[in-house]
Amino acid sequence: MKFTTTINGLSREIDCDAGMNLYDLLRELGLKGVKQGCDNEGTCGACTVLVDGVPTLSCITPAPKIAGHEVTTIEALGSPDKPHLIQSEFVKATAIQCGFCSPGMILSAKALLDKNTNPTHEQIAEALSGNLCRCTGYVKIFDAVKNAAAALRKEASNGK
Partner 1 sequence: MIRAYHQPQRLDDALALLQQGGQAIAGATGLYSNRKKLDAELVDITGIGLSTIDVTVDAIRLGATVSLSQLIGAQLPGSEGAFLAHVARHITAAPMRNAITLGGNIAHPVFWADMPVAFLALDAELEIGHAGAAPKKIALGEAIKGQVPWSNGGLITHISVPLKKGQALGYERLSRTKNDYAYATAAAAMTLESGKAKDVRVVFGAIQPRAFRATDIEAVLEGKALTPELIAEAVDKAAAHLPIAPNFRASVDYRRQVACTLARRAIAQAFASAGQE
Q: Is there a contact between 144 and 93 (Cβ–Cβ < 8 Å)?
A: yes
Q: Is 18 in the site for partner 1 (CB under 8 A)?
A: yes
Ramachandran area for residue 69 (φ above 0: left; ψ -120 to 50: alpha; else beta): beta
Q: Is there a contact between 56 and 48 (Cβ–Cβ < 8 Å)?
A: yes
Q: Is 45 in the site for partner 1 (CB under 8 A)?
A: yes
Q: Is 54 in the site for partner 1 (CB under 8 A)?
A: yes
- Minimum distance from residue 140 beta carbon to partner 1 (Å): 20
Among 28, 67, 99, 134, binds partner 1 (CB under 8 A): 67
Cα dihedral sign for 147, 149, 155, 158? negative
Q: Is 26 in the site for partner 1 (CB under 8 A)?
A: no
Binding interface with partner 1 (CB under 8 A): 1, 17-19, 21, 39-43, 45, 48, 54-57, 59-62, 64-65, 67, 108, 126-130
